[in-house]
Every structure is written in structure tokens, then in C-alpha cells.
Amino acid sequence: MKAITKIIVPVLSICVLNSCGGVPEEKTASAGEEKVFAVEEVLEMVAKENDVTRTLYTKAIVGGGKKQGMKFDEDWRKDDVEAGPLPALFLRGVATSIKKSPVPLGLYLGSDFPINAANKFVGKQANLFETIKKDQKPQFFYDDDQKLHTAMFADLASAGACVTCHNDHPQTSKSDWKLGDVMGATTWQYPKDSLTYKETVAVLNSYAKGTVDIYMEYLDEIEAFKESEKPEIGDKWPADGKYLPTPEVFLDSVRKLSSYETMKHLVAAK
């Protein structure tokens, strides 16, 4: 499985950087140094990419996979647990990958009723989250303590798998979640108030690479299964049976669903 990683990441970078359905080709070096995007614009772009990716993973992989008998668990990385990552842990995996990259982009998920107490919003974010729950509109502010421009986006219960998991979790502090509820907010942070075209592409690529990394880690976990039946990895999805898409197929679906809006912003800046 590791060999696929070496193939998929360069292919993804090419697709994101040119006209094959992702981000347009990069500007010249001199033009690329111009500040063309406000940080709020860039964080909104990457947040929309995240919404599409997480919804696809939650509904098609987790929701569809559970119907085929596949398991997903918060302890999925443990040697004695043969399962995949829950949606929130998929996001955490993306965030971990981004943190390891040279791009200074921060990402985490919080809530007023988190399963993990460490993810509970406090202070200014808690107040802003109350507003988000009312109108589901993003909130932007400058975090004086961390010296970071911050954006919060509503995280909705978009699939039955989210609702069931949170309501039934033994550590839940809220057991009456419903589809469509604002369960939390994804928070994005960046140190600068504006970005060049090149920096913006780097932010989008760092997120895309994060999805590759965590999805590949899931497929590697499956390869190590000893007791559980392994789904076939190829061009089919759980909706068709005991199948999972390859990273290329998964990311191609994400790109088709999300790249149009992203590309509109980037083309407009050229």
C-alpha cells in the first residue's frame, strides 16, 4: 500500500495546480508575490473543500461502509482494533498532516458538547459559537493570544452515522442530536492577513495532502487486518458492496464536487 502513496501525492499536486479539474496553473514568480487574497477568503476556500471531503467520507465511506459490516472506531489505530477512523478522527488526521507540513495552517474541531472535554469551546470562541448555532454563518476574528487570524465554520450533523455515533457514545454529554444540528465548528488559523497566489495554492495543497495521508493510513490499517474481512480496494464504493475506493478514486470525487468554486476564486485572481 505504501507504493500508492508515492504515486498519488505527485498526481494530486499536478491536478490541483493545473486545469485538469483543480487549481489553475501557478502565476509567474513575480506576480505570485503579490498579495491577492485576504486570509478570510483563503480560509473560506479551504473550509469548503473540507466540507465536501468530510461529507463524502462520512456518508459514502462511514455510512455506506457500516451497512456492509465495516467498522469504524475511535481506537482504530490500536493493534487489536480492526476498524477505520470516525469522521472527527479523519479530520484530526488531516490536521496532523497539515501541522507537519511547512504551511502555517491550523485546523481543529470544537464544540460546546464534545465527546473529548479538551475540544470544548471556551472564552471568545464559545461566545462566537453561540452565534454560529443561530445563523450557521462563519465567524472571523484575530486571536490576540496566539497572534493568528481565525475562522470558525459550522460543523453540521450531515449524516445518520454522525448522529448515532454521538448519541450512543458512552462519554457523550448530549444524547439527542438530530440530522442538521450544528454539532460543532471547524476552526482554521493562519498567521498573515493576506496571501499571495502561491501561498493560497500551498494552503489548498496542504489540505489535499492531509486527506491523502489519513485515507492512506486507513487503507494501510485494512491491509493489516487479521480477523476481519478486507474490503476490495478499487473503483467501487461501499454502496456497491464490500468495496472501498482507491485514494485516486476518492480524491477524484472530491475534486469534481469542490473544485469549481475554488477554481472560480483562483481564476478571478489571475
What DSSP character marks residue 18? S
> Domain limits of the chain?
2-268
Model pTM? 0.83
- Partners of residue 190 on adjacent β-strands: 149
C-alpha cell at 207: 489540505
Please give the average per-residue pLDDT across 78-107, as a whole number.
95
Q: Could you tell me the pLDDT band of residue 34, with boundaries at 50, 70 and 90?
A: confident
Return d(Cα 197, Cα 207) in angstroms, integer.
16
Nearest alpha-carbon partner for 49 in 3, 10, 105, 102:
105
**Would you say residue 31 has pLDDT above 60?**
no
Please give the average per-residue pLDDT across 2-28, as a whole number.
40
The per-residue pLDDT for range 45-67, each reduced to its tens digit, is 999 999 999 989 999 999 999 99
Least confident of 38-47, 49-58, 252-261: 252-261
Q: In the prediction, which pLDDT does 269 show?
A: 60
The per-residue pLDDT for range 204-242, each reduced to its tens digit, is 999 999 999 999 999 999 999 999 999 999 999 999 999
Please give the average per-residue pLDDT across 82-94, as a whole number.
94
Please give the average per-residue pLDDT across 6-16, as a whole number.
38
The per-residue pLDDT for range 128-149, each reduced to its tens digit, is 999 999 999 999 999 999 999 9
pLDDT, mean over the chain: 85
Q: Could you tell me the pLDDT band of residue 70, with boundaries at 50, 70 and 90?
A: very high
**Would you say residue 84 has pLDDT above 90?**
yes
Triad 154, 158, 162: Cα angle to 5°: 100
Max mean pLDDT range (4-13, 170-179, 246-255): 246-255
Question: Terminus-to-terminus CA distance in the chain, angstroms?
Answer: 38
Nearest alpha-carbon partner for 141 in 237, 246, 46, 39:
39
Q: Could you tell me the pLDDT band of residue 263, with boundaries at 50, 70 and 90?
A: low
Question: Alpha-carbon torsion 92, 95, 100, 106, what sign?
Answer: negative
C-alpha cell at 160: 445518520
**Would you say residue 187 has pLDDT above 90?**
yes
Nearest alpha-carbon partner for 132 in 257, 38, 47:
47
| 172 compared with 37, residue with greater pLDDT | 37
